[in-house]
Amino acid sequence: MNKTPMKKAALYGISSLVISMLTYAALILVALYVPENLLLHRGPDAGSLETWMPPHSDLPEKMVYIRESMADNQDIAANYENPDEMVAKLDNTFERIEGYLRRYVSANRCRDYGARHILLNITSHRSDVGAKRYFEFVKERDIQEGWQVHEIAVGENAFTGLTTESSLCLDTETEFAMKLTFIKRSYMVTISMSALKGTNQPEDMLPIILRLAQGFDDRLPSAAANP
């Protein structure tokens, strides 16, 4: 028996609804059970960038892993006033390929002393020259933004930066932010850390940052790995 147009339309509608519900359920399962790092955009060098990261055991106790992310040149350029011009500079002048970042926070961020936030960031470049140019650009940018910059002996070239910022815990608190940036061949590494001002001193945080920097330095290849 031939089905009437009304019945065909009804069956088609039910089929579409079932497919939509199954697709939605699949997306929910992916969000719940697939690790975040499997959903990240990964370029050709993403795997190697992860391998240069120091292990969690190198971080202070009570630091909890929050997230990781990859950043291509379009992502970085979006933070500048002239994105198109910055993309061209990242591609051609700095020869930047991509960056990989991990964030950690203290398990009791607003109650613990010591480090409250740590960020580990590494970028790859097509050449040593490109990495050095990017390093000099970042150093000059930090100076213009008010960071207290000092050169330090790490990797092939390095500087530390220090500034203060508002606390995310209490309006009456002030945190200081410290970071160390260095290059080794075609890679640039930045390690950032924040802590409560007053109960902590920058000199207390520097050994932690230096230990993490050494972890990177020990793992990074002594010869350029990128083409």
Inter-residue contact 119 to 181 (CB < 8 Å): no
Q: How many residues does the chain have?
A: 227
Structure tokens given for 108:
């009791």
Task: Quote the pTM value.
Answer: 0.74
- What is each CA distance from 119 to 5, 92, 105, 195, 207, in whole angstroms? 61, 27, 9, 13, 15
Q: How far apart are CA 185 and CA 217, in angstroms?
A: 11
Contacts of 216 (CB under 8 A, 6+ apart): 52, 53, 54, 122, 182, 184, 189, 191
- What pLDDT is stored for residue 221 in this prediction? 82
- What pLDDT is stored for residue 155 in this prediction? 84
- What pLDDT is stored for residue 38 in this prediction? 36
User: What does the DSSP 8-state code read for residue 90?
Assistant: I
Q: Which amino acid is at 167?
A: S
CATH class, domain 37-219, is alpha beta
Q: Which amino acid is at 96?
A: R
Which residues of the chain carry a pLDDT beneath 50? 17-46, 224-227
Q: Is 35 helix (H, G, I), strand (E, B) or coil?
A: coil
- What pLDDT is stored for residue 174 in this prediction? 82
- What pLDDT is stored for residue 55 in this prediction? 86
